[in-house]
Chains A and B, each alone.
Chain A
């Protein structure tokens, strides 16, 4: 059954290289029309292979790919309604910016008059009209990337595929391009599928993210859900920073779950958490650094609190990252906003503090 809104359907796709390497392992995904979708994972997780299968440069060993309801099996890359922005941009060095953008129209026999109009329109989308006569080696990295974008968008694809499009840019430019890409996507209304290993990039741009690891899709969710409700240890650890501990479910009392964590045991016999369906046997206990409150005196109002010692302070300007260790050996990372110029001067290695957090901010992950 194909939903009218679905533009890409990936069904039970497996990709093997040779007989031993499984790059993509039985992946099924539905990507909606107009969506900004991110494939996120560490290098070698199969995300690029999946993208290349959408573009037609690789073919699935098993399973099917449908784009706009059409089976893509045996369809050459030049016949697919998708276009790609390559990691290296692959802007042809022997052609001008104008020729680069016009290339895709020229080779498919678009009339000359239409080509010029569409190239101009596409270049204005990426604010490069003034550069039309330049050769790629006269452009900066960011501008070359815009040429690659304009060259793909001029074809009016049903889906734009982006392979690590921002990885070659410096940090400032990357942040700016993230915002621009999102605006561009909303204005052209084309479905974007982006591959990235940078979680910030995925969180800030995508409508939905699929986290991949070793060929498997672990979780598909909107950014905030992925960040606040990861469904497994890998996702919890991969997205953002996380304090992770091993725990054991000790019992259930009054609808609350009691969990014993060995490193907390000298101060807290059990964590008392709201009911959670994952809370069975061995579990992972996780809490984000920014959810942790730091106090000089024991915070009586907090149910989960531990006395810790500062082991390290890393200064980042806008905030400092503290590394803390409890008497039971539990290690924490916590963030401290530098709200005033003279705040927190007294927090140095060896200082004793209290960490605490709300039980409902605690994640329980099945192992």
Chain B
């Protein structure tokens, strides 16, 4: 059966269900959305098929561009922090003793076993004014106050003031870093894991220290994985909806929330469709830049 590819019947039987699934539940809805994006909203929120670019023109108005720009900005900050946390983590797992590797990888993907909504609510419980983080800080504050009082400085620490951690941009970034960390760690881990360790040994052998080896050898060789991981984190956090909705404040609305609002309370599906496609085009552009950068490299990395 090695030439099952040549057997048209077998091929058709195997390929038909997934193709049908994708066409019916992905391609067709996407096409409908695309057509809607050129329509206009009726007075009761119905869709009037008047083919024009009004929705796109509205999407690039300043107020909406501001939200798109903020989404890009938040996604960039999130990616940066996720990389700063995730790269060392990926390195650590890749260089861990073999029997620990699977356990550590499991820990990285363990959060997926719980629903994202519930995990996001958990962050609310951690970050809010009367949340676990503030409780912890207050406890430390109390202990320090008692300590300083006992050595004669009762007023040194002052009153404890709870930190405002929730319902702002910082909370959104914290939440996004948490959610997309595994998406960044796994591709980077996969490239470092596959990397011939003798490259690193050769670098050490030639007199380079560990930091030099990291920046001159490990990171350049892991670049494909780093690019994939960062891109994944960036694209996913740019289109995010849940995290800013739950952890963000009034100024934290991102493009995902704007789109969601068009399909719910605003009942403006045509505008929502146009925004969705704008986000899609943006994503394509980023992927295209990445692909052409990768293609330009003459090395087989």
CA–CA, A137 to B199, complex, Å? 15
Asked if A335 is an interface residue, CB under 8 A from chain B, the answer is no
- Interface residues in B160-199 (C-beta closer than 8 Å to A): 196, 198-199
By the criterion CB–CB under 8 Å, are A86 and B201 in contact?
yes
Q: Which of A47-86 contact B (CB under 8 A)?
A: 55-57, 76-79, 82-84, 86
A11 within 8 A of B: no
The reply to whether the CB of B151 lies closer than 8 angstroms to some CB of chain A is no
| CB contact list, B15-64 vs A, under 8 A | none
Q: Counting CB contacts under 8 A, is A103 at the interface?
A: yes
Verify B206–A135 contact, CB threshold 8 A. Answer: no
The answer to whether A238 has its CB under 8 Å from any CB of chain B is no
| Residues of B with C-beta under 8 A to A79 | 207
Question: What per-residue 1/0 map shows which CB atoms of B65-77 lie under 8 Å from chain A?
Answer: 0000000000000
Q: Most chain-A CB neighbours within 10 Å: which of B202, B203, B209?
A: B202
Q: Roughly how many angstroms separate A56 CA and B204 CA in the complex, as a whole number?
A: 10
Tell yes or no: B158 within 8 A of A by CB: no
Whether a CB of chain B sits under 8 angstroms from the CB of A179 is no
Which of A87-95, A297-305, A319-327 touches B? Answer: A87-95
> Can you report 14 residue pairs joining A to B where beta carbons are below 8 Å apart?
A55-B201, A78-B205, A82-B205, A83-B205, A83-B206, A84-B201, A84-B202, A84-B205, A86-B202, A92-B221, A104-B207, A137-B300, A151-B206, A152-B205
| Chain A contacts for B223, CB-based, 8 A | 94
A108 at the interface (CB under 8 A from B): yes
A107 touches B301 (CB 8 A): no
Nearest A residue (CB) for B217: A92
User: Closest residue of chain B to A138, judged by CB?
Assistant: B298
Residues of B within 8 A of A155 (CB): 206-207
B299 touches A135 (CB 8 A): yes
Report the bound CA distance from A92 to B203 in whole Å: 9
Contact of B204 among A76, A94, A135 (CB under 8 A): A76
Is A94 in contact with B207, judged by CB distance below 8 angstroms? Answer: no
Q: Could you tell me the distance between the alpha carbons of A92 and B223 in the complex, rounded to whole angstroms?
A: 14
Interface size on B, residues (CB 8 A): 22
CB contacts (< 8 Å) of B205 on chain A: these are 55-56, 77-78, 82-84, 152
B207 engages A108 (CB within 8 Å): yes
Within 8 A of A (CB), among B201-240: 201-209, 212, 216-217, 220-221, 223
Please tell me if the beta carbons of B216 and A78 are within 8 angstroms of each other in the complex: no
- CB of A345 to closest CB in B, whole Å: 45
B88–chain A nearest beta-carbon distance, Å: 21
> Known contacts A92-B199, A93-B300; is A104 also within 8 Å of B206 by CB?
yes
Given contact pairs A107-B212, A107-B216, A135-B298, A88 touches B206 in the complex (Cβ within 8 A): no
B221 proximity list for chain A (CB < 8 A): 92-94
Residues 163-209 (chain A) with a chain B CB within 8 angstroms: none
Query: Measuring CB to CB, which residues of chain B are less than 8 angstroms from any residue of chain A?
Result: 196, 198-199, 201-209, 212, 216-217, 220-221, 223, 298-301
Residues of B within 8 A of A78 (CB): 204-209
Which residues does A use to contact B, with CB under 8 Å? 55-57, 76-79, 82-84, 86-88, 90, 92-94, 103-104, 107-108, 135-137, 151-152, 155
In the complex, the answer to whether A77 meets B204 with C-beta atoms within 8 Å is: yes
B211 to chain A, nearest CB (A): 10
CA distance A316 to B61 in the complex (A): 83
Residues of chain A within 8 A of B209, CB atoms compared: 78, 107
A107–B220 CB distance below 8 A? no
Pick from A76, A83, A88, A137: contact of B198, CB below 8 A. A88
CA distance A77 to B205 in the complex (A): 5
Q: Which of A57, A76, A103, A151 gathers most chain B CB within 10 Å? A: A103
Bound: A24/B247 CA distance, A? 59
Which of these, A56, A83, A90, A137, contacts B299 with CB under 8 Å? A137
Q: In the complex, what residue of chain A is closest to B204 when comparing beta carbons?
A: A77
Besides A57-B204, A84-B205, A107-B216, 12 more A-B contacts (Cβ < 8 Å) are A56-B205, A57-B201, A84-B202, A90-B196, A93-B299, A94-B220, A94-B301, A103-B206, A107-B212, A108-B207, A135-B299, A155-B207
Q: In the assembled complex, which residues on chain A have CB atoms less than 8 Å from the CB atom of B208? A: 78, 103-104, 107
Complex Cα–Cα for A92 and B220 (A):
10
Chain A residues contacting B207 (CB-CB under 8 Å) are 78-79, 104, 107-108, 155
A10 to B216, CA, bound (A): 33
B96 to A: closest C-beta gap in Å? 16
Residues in A neighbouring B206, C-beta threshold 8 A: 78, 83, 103-104, 107, 151-152, 155
A241 to chain B, nearest CB (A): 34
Chain B residues with CB under 8 A of A86: 198, 201-202
Using Cβ atoms and an 8 Å threshold, which residues of chain B touch A92? 199, 202-203, 217, 221
B248 shortest CB reach to chain A, Å? 40
Inter-subunit contact A94/B299 (CB<8 Å): yes
Closest to A148 in B: B202
